[in-house]
Structure 1
Amino acid sequence: MGPVGFCLAQEDEGPTVNLPGSQVLGILTDGVDSFYGMPYAESPAGRNRLKRPVKRTRPLGEFDATTIAPACPQGHFGAVKLDEPWHKRTLNVDNVDNADTNLARWDAANPVQTAEDCLTITVQRPAGTKAGDNLPVLFMLAGYSFVMGTPYRYNVTSFIKFGVEIEQPFVLVTANYRTGPWGFLPGDKMMKNGSSNLGLRDQRMSMEWASDNIAAFGGDPDKIVLWGHASGGVSVFDHLVISGGNATYKDKKLFRGAIMSSGSFLPAESINSKKCNEIYSKVAGALEYPMRHDLPFYKDSMEALRAAPYSDFVRAASSIRGALSAEAMRLVYVPRPDNDLIRHSHEVLLKDNMFVPVPMIFGTQEDEGTIFAQKQTSVNNTRRMIKYLRGHYFRNISNGRMEDFLKNYHTKAFHGSPYGTGSEFENWAGRKRLSSVLGDVFFTIPRRIAMSLIASSQPELPIWGYQAAYDYGNNATSAWGTAHGSFEAMVFETDDYMSSYATRTTRRYLLNFLYDLDPNKRHLELAAWPKWTVEEPRLLKFNKSGHSILLEGGGERGYTFMKRRLGMFRI
């Protein structure tokens, strides 16, 4: 069927797909077939909590995939009394234990039902697609700081229909995976029980399901490209290096390209480090399982965590300070080296060529840090910034070294983020400086380090990079500039991006890459996007009404310092 044919299916036709021993009924809405909530693994609830996923092998039978399935438990926990004195100064609420922040309200516009039995996958395609069409597949990993995240937040209809309009139709796949303490609880006990990085294991199993089944939906299992935003981008990066760079399944690669937006390399302490064992002990201790008269005695804390009622597990996990509380990102539940799935620190794996050598796109927003620096009104000089960064993020760096690092960041608001706004938006002294630092240490510098290590290990491997800078002139968002999350909103044409130049051009680049593993192969009216190399580290800069080329310098801001001292910047 040609591209026009994808739009001709009638709204009342109810698409069906045949899988081995199964018939899956989907729903047709506004030119898109959707098949929601197909289980790819057995339930991870109850006694299977904190265990590796088990692949579902039983046929689905006659399966109704017309409604959205429950998302995995969302691991945000509001600000607590331990967040003092921040809550008194910035939140202005009476009940601190139930306090929330603007960051935590992001998902309020798209609430979904949640359940522990949540390991399901969703396939969406242009209406009229059928088995044998062999469309390329965009496999998207949702992100939200590894504490929340569900693919149901995205309105994918306009993106899928855009692909049809420009004669590049594609299949979109999204999957639920465990987040927060369900998917990334750290600690030596988790490692010894084989329960490390469970969220990544869920993701990998969902990719195997796609490899086995996507052809029946009209997709080509040999043309799968991974895409992730924020923690989804970190996840994509992890799938490049897990198992020492082995992404082979049934003698085939699970994916042939990778796109990482606003997230890639995230330096983290090993899962059995002192910090991680403290996190595990705090969660397990909060359960108080030896003292509970309504629970039997368990031989160890892992058994108790698995057997605890769901509400008790949530309460224990809530003993950790707010995952996205007012004063800091709580980067606690993240992928970590575990001597198994992630065998070494990420930079070691890249240096040793232990990663999947596929074409890649890396990108960051110009103002990644602004939304994470809204409430820290007392971080208004270098001394307090050192205390803040070491106390909340980087315990391995000394005061002196952190002071040396911060010398790379000007104290004048004119030079801070959101960039290009002069001295505006400095609501409190140091806000724009802190925004610059957070954007660099968690997004821009790790992205650049990863690209440098990959390009050094495999000089012939094609990789591309971008920086987005299209929002600082927009009155609705200028206080945050081109902020974290805006790339995702732009691709899915939400908020202020309806029919924007940035949306149209970026979608074309992404679909070029999906089809040809090169963003330049089609739509030659687009600006040429140069490859990124160590010798010429050139980025495509997405602007509001045109694109330009940005050459990354040798040591601007803190790049050189952080690259040489990565061990000090592990979370």
Structure 2
Amino acid sequence: MSLSLIPFLCSLLTLVCASTVTVQIGNVSVIGNYNSTSGVDQFLGLKYGSSTRFRRASAQSYSNRGVINATQHGPACPQIKGTNSLAVNYGIYGTDEDCTLLDIYRPHYIPRGTLLPVMLWLHGGALTQGAAWYYPGDGIVQESSRINLPVITVVINYRLAAWGFLGGKEAADNGALNLGLYDQQLALQWVQNYISNFGGDNSKVTVFGQSSGAMSIAYHMLTVNTKLFTGAILESGTSTSVPALAAEAYQGNYDALVSIAGCSGSSDTFECLRTMDRDALINATNTMFSQPSSYGSRPWGVSIDGEIIPDNPSILTARGQIAQIPFIAGNVMDEGTIFVKPQTISTDDDLLTFLEKDYLNRNASFFQNATSIATLEVLYPNDPSLGCPYGTGNETFFGTQFKRGASIYGDIHFHWARRNFLNTAVSNGVLSWSYLFDQFTPTNAAWQGVLHTGEIPYVFMKFSPSDGDLYALSRQMLAYWVSFAYNRNPYYKYNPIWEKYSKASQNIVFTAANTSMQPDDYRSAGMSFIGSISDQFLEPRA
């Protein structure tokens, strides 16, 4: 059918075509969904590149005439199966190795000649899990339009686990390091090239993400001359949350994957992994991930590749090598809880065993430093009333030291890392704001507290007016987020005025009862000590 006939036929067949919307990219027509109830257009499963195993993705081309059906979510990237309390089946739309896809959500009505700010979401999941479909942007677009600050929301897939973050010498020699980060970069470049076709302003791109998504944003900010985004919101993660190592540091896990996948006898183990059956490779990665005592809690991770990650991020951060891009960084109150369960921590030895799983095969000197261990144990005593989830008294939940482990884990990976990134940025003149999310959601378990990921439903407007104060808090948070996307300042008409992070070091603390500005000085002794020995976690001993 000639594309020129589509508008005419739609005018005649309103019932058939009323639910679709079309955007042109060159000679290509992109067909999406229009929801007349929400007033939101959706363009789903759009390719921003083409990806093959262990190769950098190539950019999407629109040189040929054609039609793209963007009315359904695309498949997720291959990934490990979740084992913690937040396990999600991300494969309900299938999985595919050619998974460099994105979803776009926009207001249906955009005044002619107007370009809207863009918010691009990078999901979390420890670089091993996640999918774009799990984070629908309709609520953000609908609410932002309601308050007359309409934005376009983009949500992307990027490659994960061994597909996106394979380490080892062989991966380095074949250009296969950090492919997930390069995917993110390619998606951001796609937005620069094409988002104006959808009514987006490529000069006002805010990247926001949670956990490993936030860490990824911080890594991209270490490229101080980046032009791919102009604002950032980091939810529970920065450049010093977890170690990034030389490729060779992952050699043990690369060799283990080769062995488990049955490639040990190959003359070219990399090529064997690259060409083997997809499901067999998925099974091998699941086997590794299910054995953290052997391969660590993070079998694959970001490598120092000399390009996108030119040096150890902890060193680059300490030098103040952070792009002059305004940003927001924040934490939830109880970051550590979901990382402890299902492990029972009852003794000091249990505590160290749990903490070390995140650094297994990463040569962290802390675990050989008796003085550092002893000092940390003093600063974080085995007192349930001081542990995480905070404010839960003497309840121990799972093992007598569960709350102690959650507190230490949360401060090392998230609370201290945020404070460190902000202080470095402020010292180098980067405009920044900080928050602490402290609202317990009743549908969560008591042991989880205000858990890691807990702010996401609020940012994505997952509450309705029937949820009362939680809905009101969600609206308040999103108003600050989209105001930042517009003005590079999160000020909105709500109280309090969100003050910049500075030597006064204040957080906005989000609660349904009374959001307020408060000093960022909680657990200062413990986090100051963590900062003083951070090299023992982040810079492997020789």
Q: What is the TM-score normalised by the length of structure 1?
A: 0.84
Q: Is 1:451 matched with 2:422?
A: yes
Counterpart of 2:233, as a letter, is I
Q: Could you list the per-position Cα deviations for residues 357-401 of structure 1 after superposition, in whole angstroms to 9, with x for gaps in the alignment? A: 110000000001111222222x21223312332354364222512
Q: How does 1:414-429 map to 2 (within 5 A)?
A: 414-429=385-400
Q: Is 1:50 matched with 2:54?
A: yes
Counterpart residue number, 2:236: 262
Output the CA distance in 2 between the equivalents of 1:549 and 1:225.
Answer: 24
Q: How does 1:525-544 map to 2 (within 5 A)?
A: 525-533=494-502, 535-544=503-512
Give the match's secondary structure for 1:387: helix
Q: Is the 8 A contact 2:116 2:200 kept in 1?
A: yes
Counterpart residue number, 2:75: 70
Pairing partner for 1:137 from 86, 97, 118 = 118
Q: Which runs of 5+ in 2 are unaligned?
A: 1-13
Q: Is the 8 A contact 2:327 2:433 kept in 1?
A: yes
Q: Is 1:462 matched with 2:441?
A: no
Counterpart of 2:225, as a letter, is N
Counterpart residue number, 1:246: 225
Q: Is 1:413 matched with 2:384?
A: yes
Q: Is the 8 A contact 1:18 1:216 kept in 2?
A: yes
Q: Is the 8 A contact 1:24 1:63 kept in 2?
A: yes
Pairing partner for 2:407 from 422, 428, 436 = 436
Counterpart of 2:68, as a letter, is F
User: Greater shift after overlay, 325-334 or 123-132?
Assistant: 325-334
Give the match's secondary structure for 2:289: coil
Q: How does 1:327-366 map to 2 (within 5 A)?
A: 330-366=297-333
Task: Tell me the matched-pair count.
Answer: 513
Counterpart residue number, 1:15: 21
Q: Is the 8 A contact 1:132 1:215 kept in 2?
A: no
Q: Is the 8 A contact 2:135 2:155 kept in 1?
A: no
Output the CA distance in 2 between the equivalents of 1:554 and 1:453.
Answer: 19
Counterpart of 1:143, as a letter, is G
Q: Could you list the per-position Cα deviations for residues 259-294 of structure 1 after superposition, in whole angstroms to 9, with x for gaps in the alignment? A: 0001222231413243x1101111112222354xxx
Output the CA distance in 2 between the equivalents of 1:332 and 1:314.
Answer: 14
Q: Is 1:384 matched with 2:350?
A: yes
Q: Is the 8 A contact 2:253 2:295 kept in 1?
A: no
Q: Could you list the per-position Cα deviations for residues 104-156 of structure 1 after superposition, in whole angstroms to 9, with x for gaps in the alignment? A: 2x347x83311111111221101123773200000111111111111211243
Counterpart residue number, 1:279: 253
Q: Is the 8 A contact 1:268 1:337 kept in 2?
A: no
Pairing partner for 1:561 from 508, 526, 529 = 529
Give the match's secondary structure for 2:304: coil
Counterpart of 2:307, as a letter, is D
User: Greater shift after overlay, 499-508 or 63-72?
Assistant: 499-508
Output the CA distance in 1 between the equivalents of 2:396 and 2:464.
Answer: 20
Distance change in 2, residues 1:131/1:564 (3 Å): farther
Q: Is the 8 A contact 2:385 2:393 kept in 1?
A: yes
- Cα displacement (A) at 1:31: 1.7
Output the CA distance in 1 between the equivalents of 2:280 and 2:295.
Answer: 26
Q: Is the 8 A contact 1:363 1:465 kept in 2?
A: yes
Output the CA distance in 1 between the equivalents of 2:337 and 2:313.
Answer: 26
Give the match's secondary structure for 2:479: helix
Distance change in 2, residues 1:224/1:37 (3 Å): same
Q: How does 1:504-523 map to 2 (within 5 A)?
A: 504-520=475-491, 522-523=492-493
- Cα displacement (A) at 1:64: 0.7
Counterpart residue number, 1:237: 218
Counterpart of 2:93, as a letter, is V
Q: Is the 8 A contact 2:387 2:407 kept in 1?
A: yes
Counterpart residue number, 1:103: 86
Counterpart residue number, 2:359: 393
Counterpart of 1:466, as a letter, is Y
Counterpart of 1:215, as a letter, is S
Q: Is the 8 A contact 2:332 2:451 kept in 1?
A: yes
Q: Is the 8 A contact 1:134 1:218 kept in 2?
A: yes
- Cα displacement (A) at 1:220: 0.5
- Cα displacement (A) at 1:419: 0.9
- Cα displacement (A) at 1:329: 8.0
Output the CA distance in 2 between the equivalents of 1:115 and 1:259.
Answer: 29
Q: What is the TM-score normalised by the length of structure 2?
A: 0.89
Counterpart of 1:305, as a letter, is L
Q: Could you list the per-position Cα deviations for residues 284-307 of structure 1 after superposition, in whole angstroms to 9, with x for gaps in the alignment? A: 12222354xxxxxx5421111111
Pairing partner for 2:46 from 22, 25, 38 = 38
Output the CA distance in 2 between the equivalents of 1:143 and 1:554.
Answer: 26
Give me the CA root mean square deviation. 2.5
Q: Is the 8 A contact 2:289 2:299 kept in 1?
A: no
Output the CA distance in 2 between the equivalents of 1:169 and 1:326.
Answer: 47
- Cα displacement (A) at 1:192: 2.2
Distance change in 2, residues 1:374/1:288 (3 Å): closer
Give the match's secondary structure for 2:79: coil
- Cα displacement (A) at 1:560: 1.8
Q: Is the 8 A contact 1:532 1:538 kept in 2?
A: yes
Counterpart residue number, 2:169: 188
Output the CA distance in 2 between the equivalents of 1:160 and 1:40.
Answer: 21
Give the match's secondary structure for 2:518: strand
Give the match's secondary structure for 2:455: helix
